[in-house]
Each structure stands twice: as C-alpha cells, then as structure tokens.
Amino acid sequence: MIIERASVIDAPADKVWIRVVTPEGINHEMRPWMTMSMPRGADSMTIDNIPVGQPIGRAWLRLFGIVPFDYDSLTIAELDPGRRFHEKSTMLSMRRWEHERTLIPREDGRTGLHDRVTFEPRGPISLAAPVIGRVLHAFFGHRHRRLQSYFS
C-alpha cells in the first residue's frame, strides 16, 4: 500500500533539509505521538552521513516517546543530499517499509515537501492495511504541520 503527502514549507530547501535529516528534527516532527531512537553506535549520524545501502541497525519507535512498540531496521537506499532520501527497511510489524522524502526548491523561496510511504504489514495485521494507511496519512500530515510550525 502507498500513501503520499505534500506540503509547502515556509523556508528555503537548504534550511529544511538540515532540519529533516537530524534525529532532533525527525523526533520533533513525530512528537508528541512517538519518537525514534538512533541505532546503537549511530548516535552521531544523520541521514546525510549514513552509509547508503548498508543496514545501520534497529531504530526503536517509542509511543509518546516512552513505550517501545516497534523497530525500524534502518537502511538508506538512495540519497541525493539536500534534495531527497529513500529509506528501504523492514520493521517488526512491516515486511516492507519505504519512506521517500523529496524537497523541491520553489521560486518564492519556500520548499515543496513530498513524502511517499510504501508499506506491507506482516502477518495478521496485513488485514488492517487500509486502516494503517489512513493512520499513516494522518501521521504524515501531522509531521508536515510540525515542520511548518518549526519554521513559522
């Protein structure tokens, strides 16, 4: 299943990129609903300096920033620094998880932000894929609003 969200952020693409590739920026977008840890030994990494195509370990997802409920076996498959990353991973709950984020510089100095998430749940939760899709669509809308508010 695929979900997509697009927004315009009131900041130039270089500033948006610097924010969206750091653990601090990622967690700010996801709060208060959840946070994500960095894999063991990867605390100083950002999406900009993660080895492309190599799994870097488990990034734990925590409900409300406290309760671990899933993990992302994180791999950045493609990277166009300053413009785009494509994560291809598996999760405890997902046989397939892909998150592609693209930033598009605009002539007015703002940034087009596009997220595309492709997912395939594991086992019995695969029956809930349409509901999970709606939740993810809303969650990425939340992430876009949080990012916009950071730059307001």
The encoded tokens of residue 113 equal 């932000």
Q: Report the C-alpha gap between 103 and 46 in whole angstroms.
A: 17
Domain boundaries, the chain: 2-42+51-151
Show the 3-state SS of 5-65.
EEEEECCCHHHHHHHHCCHHHHHHHHCCCEEECCCCCCCCCCCCCCCCCCCCEEEEEEECC
Q: What is the pLDDT of residues 68-109, one digit of tens each?
A: 999 999 999 999 999 999 999 999 999 999 999 999 999 999
Q: Which residues of the chain have pLDDT under 70?
A: none
The encoded tokens of residue 13 equal 């693409």
Instruction: Kindly give, in sequence order, each residue whose CB lies less than 8 Å from that of residue 19, ignoring residues fewer than 6 positions away.
Output: 25, 28, 147, 150, 151
pLDDT at 45: 73
Q: Decide: 2 and 143 in contact? Cβ < 8 Å.
A: no
Instruction: List beta partners, residue 58.
Output: 73
pLDDT at 89: 95
pLDDT at 88: 96
pLDDT at 42: 72
The encoded tokens of residue 143 equal 């992430």
pLDDT at 114: 98
CB atoms within 10 A of CB 130: 9
Query: What is the dihedral angle through the alpha carbons of 40, 74, 137, 126, rounded to the nearest 10 degrees?
Result: -110
Specify whether domain 2-42+51-151 bears CATH 3.30.1330.100.
no
pLDDT at 50: 85
Angle between helices 23-30 and 129-151 (to 10 degrees): 110
pLDDT at 47: 83
pLDDT at 71: 95
